[in-house]
Structure 1
Amino acid sequence: MKKIFKFLTLAFIALLTIACGNDSNKGSTVTNLKVGIAPNYKPFDYKIDSKLTGFDVDLVEEIAKKNNFKITWVEANFDGLIPALKAEKIDMIASGMSATDERRQNVDFTKPYFKSKNLYIKLKANDALNSKNDLEGKKIGVMLGTLQEDAAKKIKDAEIQSNKDLNIAILALKNNKIDAIVMDQDVAKGFLAENPELITFYQEDDDSEGFSFAFDKNKHKEILSQFNKSIDELKAGGFYKKLLEKYGLE
């Protein structure tokens, strides 16, 4: 009886050791990251059948796979992402966010992973708009919290209508409630394809370094470094090019 008890005790200890060892290994190798995203910015961040997808999503998931990060996506409005980061509700932002000096006062950016431009859109039938100067005193739709909102606000006497979703601006433009929309050129591609009555009439640099992933200021330096390294590796290895092709961003 004692031998049986001793054997069972040793077996139990061995199983407990294995279990604890597995938990210990998991804790030391897996980094959990809550990633903020505004999924209304196709082709970078959007949903298909309630499932998150897009260029940013695929890129982050691949980087996570390379570095043994566990990603939990946290959805928010774009203008609420940096406040959520500062409040520690999320660990990083992956949502087509452009790196600017103003934003850099509050966050640390990875190296840019995509460069875009501002595109100005109007109704095809509107012959009055042919240049940026023609927008003085006009009504302009933009997405709240974006560089395009900043650009529109610099236009003399323009009335800016900021929305949390560009679909609202598109509807307003088609119903002649605003005169034009300023948006990211690669986001605009989808809207122009779906709305043949809309055309572009002006393009400019967005005055940023490009889209980057963001972390809270002076935190997660090591993880940020891993993201930078992985961006370079994925570009060199061909994965990045395949993503560009997949989402029509070449």
Structure 2
Amino acid sequence: MKKIFKFLTIALMALLASGCGDNSAKNLSTVMTDLKVGIATNYKPFDYKIDSKLTGFDVDLVEEIAKKNGIKITWVETNFDGLIPALKAGKIDMIASAMSATDERRQNVDFTQPYFKSKNLYIKLKTNDKINTKEDLEGKKIGVQLGTLQENTARKIKDTEIQSNKDLNIAILALKNNKIDAIVIDQDAGKGFLAENPELVNFYQEDDDSEGFSFAFDKDKHKEVLAKFNKGIQELKADGAYDKLIEKYDLK
């Protein structure tokens, strides 16, 4: 009787272990094939909308990699400064929003290899002849997008008053109305604003002190899917699809 009981106990434990293994596999499968991707849709040409349709370099790049790997993407829109908090809270699984890989951010997230390298661009009114160098911004009012690398850069300039906005269009409007003296912005996003606002001009540019734009995942999670995106970036560069996207969004 004791032997039968012992056998039944072992069999039950094995069954439970098998069941847990199946659930874990299912959970892993769900994570690997369905991703909620956070994006801030006010950063043309990387992340924006046309007639309510999400588009941009980041969007196309993620969708291409996902298609090759059988991954379903669900886009989750939020403000740029809310992306990492949303990732840490489990509201999203991945960030794809022109986010620069920095040591500070790396404390909380894992980055893929960089997929695009950019610069900081400094913009002013053409009629403002008092500002011609970065040093001329000391003691001035500078507009930036909240939570960006450019915000940190602007804060390092001596005695500046920083106006951080969730939407760069607000900063552009403030600059045109002489509410601020300059804007620090990503170079490629800045080109679009300059084309749309002929009264503005760039007067300085510099490296942004980051490795470049990267996709981000929560720390020590989704290692396998992160590896898939690293591989995907390399594959798209090798087969020419990456260059086509660069040309499509005028990022040369």
Whole-Å separation in 1 of the counterparts to 2:122 and 2:232: 34
SS at match of 1:176: coil
Whole-Å separation in 2 of the counterparts to 1:206 and 1:248: 20
CA offsets per residue over residues 174-203 of structure 1, 9 Å max, x none? 000000000000000110000000000010
Whole-Å separation in 2 of the counterparts to 1:80 and 1:140: 22
Q: Select 1:185's aligned residue among 184, 187, 190.
A: 187
Q: Select 1:161's aligned residue among 163, 170, 194.
A: 163
When residues 234 and 73 of structure 1 are mapped into structure 2, their CA distance, relative to the original with a 3 A threshold, is same
When residues 194 and 117 of structure 1 are mapped into structure 2, their CA distance, relative to the original with a 3 A threshold, is same
SS at match of 1:79: helix
8 Å Cα contact 2:123-2:202 kept in structure 1:
yes
Number of residue pairs matched by the alignment: 225
Corresponding residue for residue 47 of structure 1: 49
8 Å Cα contact 2:32-2:225 kept in structure 1:
no
8 Å Cα contact 1:109-1:214 kept in structure 2:
yes
Corresponding residue for residue 16 of structure 2: none
Corresponding residue for residue 128 of structure 2: 126
CA offsets per residue over residues 16-61 of structure 1, 9 Å max, x none? xxxxxxxx9xx68971000000000000000001110000000000
Whole-Å separation in 2 of the counterparts to 1:104 and 1:45: 22
Percent identity at matched positions? 82
When residues 215 and 151 of structure 1 are mapped into structure 2, their CA distance, relative to the original with a 3 A threshold, is same
SS at match of 2:210: coil
Corresponding residue for residue 75 of structure 2: 73
SS at match of 1:56: helix
With structure 1 as the length reference, what TM-score do the two structures score?
0.88
Whole-Å separation in 1 of the counterparts to 2:83 and 2:202: 29
Whole-Å separation in 1 of the counterparts to 2:134 and 2:31: 52
Deviation at 1:247, TM superposition (A): 0.1
SS at match of 1:108: strand
Corresponding residue for residue 212 of structure 1: 214
Corresponding residue for residue 138 of structure 2: 136
Whole-Å separation in 1 of the counterparts to 2:36 and 2:113: 20
**Where in structure 1 are there 5+ consecutive unaligned residues?**
1-23
After the TM superposition, which residues 137-152 of structure 1 pair with which residues of structure 2 at under 5 Å, given as runs? 137-152=139-154
Whole-Å separation in 2 of the counterparts to 1:244 and 1:75: 23
Corresponding residue for residue 230 of structure 1: 232
Whole-Å separation in 2 of the counterparts to 1:249 and 1:153: 27
Whole-Å separation in 1 of the counterparts to 2:141 and 2:212: 27
Whole-Å separation in 2 of the counterparts to 1:226 and 1:42: 26
Deviation at 1:81, TM superposition (A): 0.2
Corresponding residue for residue 17 of structure 1: none
**Where in structure 2 are there 5+ consecutive unaligned residues?**
1-25
Q: Which amino acid aligns with 1:101?
A: D
With structure 2 as the length reference, what TM-score do the two structures score?
0.88
CA RMSD of superposed structures (Å): 1.2
Whole-Å separation in 1 of the counterparts to 2:40 and 2:53: 13
8 Å Cα contact 1:120-1:201 kept in structure 2:
yes
After the TM superposition, which residues 112-123 of structure 1 pair with which residues of structure 2 at under 5 Å, given as runs? 112-123=114-125
Whole-Å separation in 2 of the counterparts to 1:57 and 1:188: 19
When residues 29 and 143 of structure 1 are mapped into structure 2, their CA distance, relative to the original with a 3 A threshold, is closer
Whole-Å separation in 2 of the counterparts to 1:170 and 1:158: 18
SS at match of 2:189: helix
When residues 28 and 82 of structure 1 are mapped into structure 2, their CA distance, relative to the original with a 3 A threshold, is closer
8 Å Cα contact 1:29-1:68 kept in structure 2:
no
Q: Which amino acid aligns with 1:196?
A: P
Matched, 1:101 2:103: yes
